[in-house]
Structure 1
Amino acid sequence: MAFKVGLLGLGTVGSGTAAILLDPAQRHPLLKELKIHRVGVRSLDKARAVDLPVEQLTTDLESIVTDPEVDVVVEVMGGLEPARSLMLKAIAHGKHVVTANKAAIARYGDEIFTAANAAGVYVLIEAAVAGGIPVIEPLKQSLCANRIQAVTGIVNGTTNYILSRMQSEGSDFNEVLADAQRLGYAEADPTADVDGLDAADKVAILASLAFGGRIKLPEVHCEGIRSVSAADIAYAEKLGFVIKLLATAKRDAVGEDEAEQLQVRVHPTLVPKSHPLASVNGVYNAILIEGDPVGQVMFFGPGAGSGPTASAVVADILNIAAILKVGRDTVVQPDGKPLLDPLLACSHQHYSKITPIDELVTRFYARVLTQDSPGVIGKLGTCFGNHEVSLESVVQTGLRDDSAEIVVITHYVREGNFREALAEIQSMESVQSIASVLRVL
């Protein structure tokens, strides 16, 4: 029995996917039954990284998603449109879908999964988060007996590469970014990566799977790494931390009579050197999951690239092929729709309630530049105390451009209180600027 694959896109990930499908030797035996049927491309004349017969290529992408011979449509084009529309049309024609498109899933996942459930088909997304690291299916299956408490990850390789080099070399952000672009680790337009937007897409997907509720992407608090300076990296080092762009989704503590809320956020964070994520450097990704009763488990590996991402794509295709092979798709419900495997399908309908960032309770690091005059530290401490902000440490580290540089780390405080204190401190005559504010894990 051959399972026919319609491939949308033959770029980096598409070429890697095709290469695996064309070379099944010494891989899972079911792979030999997967056949590339048609491949959708933007241009027929472009040179390809993988050799395919020209008759398999087409620029008519809709003809692939409506082809009755295609069993699985694999969307690896990226972008929002026409990817979204093509996936929905494939679903409407009874096709199972595999996609690596985190942006489309984070924004249109509710629409796509609702359509898939109604049509009785699967949409599998392992490659959409953390490249080749298997984390989506473990959340759905291997860890499904757990009550997940938190998912914390380094899910963007570009920002992790930049921060790792800033730490090892003492360089500034702009200098390392330019070098990362020259080396191909960062895009010409790095906005999605360095402003945290890519990580926000991914943590929205992880939160939805971990906590069983849909996430509204605009409610995910998102900060990037542009404001992280070499000075912050150096102070973090002295204080026993490294700075990482963390994507966090966790259950929030609420009262007995209140509905459960989630924290879902992306921002640069001071991570203690003893923490498992602190040693994840370069372009690598890692995701730490905390659950009851499993405790902590961490997934580590390459978060992007042709081979790693294609590995995840083909694993999803094999999952669907296995279901089709044993005939589970022929089991129907009273309404005539196929009965989907509840551990593979995404069936939740409600939206999770997200805690506003002002209500977040966390620790903070702040670097303040002031006049070098007596009593300044005392004034800062009094101001923080007036806003119920308890300080763990206050250090005057020396002079920077004739200004006294004061670094504070707080105990756990409500973010709204901390921001009110900062606003008052900023207005003090002796304070020149608040140079940096970062959260502490």
Structure 2
Amino acid sequence: MYWGDTGARVIEEANLDGTNRRTIVTEVGYLYRIDIYGNYLYWTVWAAGGIYRVDRTTGVSSTESSDSRLNSPEDLYILKDLKKNSSNQCSTNGVCYDPISTHSCECDTEFFRKVGKGRGCTEGCPHHVVIVKNVNYTFGYTPAEMFANSIELCGMGDNLLLGSLAERMCKRNLNGGGGIWGEIKLNLCVNYTIAELAEIRVTKENVEAVAEQLSANTIENNWDTNVTIDVIASILEKLTDVGAGKERVTDETVKVVSNMQNAADELFFKKNQSIADTSRIKRSLEAQLASLSDHKGVEKNLAVHTKQYLPDVLNKGIGYFINVTNSGTDIQDEYIHTINEVDTFITENIDSSIFLPPGFLKLNQDQTGSNKIQVSVIVYRTSKLFKSKRLMSNNNTSIGSRVISGTVENVTADGLNEPIRAGYKPVVVS
């Protein structure tokens, strides 16, 4: 900062915090106004009727204007008309501006502004903010052919690093110069084991990150040999308690339950493994679906769909079935069908089906007082999560069919005039 002291007749400067104070000019007279342009400091002296200039870096070569038209000048403004430098020290892809004794570069938007020695413009990607899974990731200006990490680093959750770090490549634009951002890749900040995740206190801030970590840890061939079903069930229950209603948590839970159906049979028959633990996993998934009014998710071994229906849609009941020609085929969205009339509902020659009669609509109105009815449907590719003492005693993990379940939220099926229909065709799942 710069200021004049008319009493001491000096012009001084200092850092903004007041340090490094020094005198630039002495014997300046009764000055009125100071302004800066380039390396020079200008001021007016009312009594002398002149405008003065000094090199503010050296404090020498003070000069006075000789314009006879000046009469007691008070104010002073310098309009900085930055003219383009003909030599263009920015090289290509930018415009060089030269304020008296220095230059700066204004680069085209698709180019990256160099800093420090060798200033200029080079090919690169501009500042960009992108949203992935409802999370903002910010990428700064990046030269071409370089990787960039998002500015947002991994967050802290219960003293442990959680979340995702976004990374992308700035590619060279071969057609028109400049740079083009590549696809974003999300990398887990730290890969925690399932056992370590079980020790984390799940909060609103880290629930999505914990769900993502659990999903990554249950991918095929990524199982911890010491993991047990009850540990996974406990983590899912904590995720449900904190994250119910969050679509991202539900999506990751769907992946976990799908991944578990790829696990080796030994996982389900470990010592002291409780049959109830698989039921806890299914209940967590069902509770998360109940917290969402309209949600669909499809993975290789699992498909879920929850939706609220109006009365006119349910006057003749509602049914769901899955029909796959090849029993070893992964579940896909087009294999799952909805049917709205009991008369056209067919149970033969399909893999799995369930039909909820129209009486559920009246039960819903009587028990909840609402005309809207929420139905959740889950399709399991295998029956590994459906255990019984008979199956456990025979070391058998499959009842030989896909499994489809339907839930009418907040309604107890008591006093129905028509039965709930379900059909299962035995299949061999590879």
- TM-score clears 0.5: no
Asked which structure has the greater RCO (Cα within 8 Å, sep 6+), the reply is: 1
Greater share of strand residues, 1 or 2? Answer: 2
Greater share of helix residues, 1 or 2? Answer: 1
TM-score computed with the length of structure 1 as normaliser: 0.26
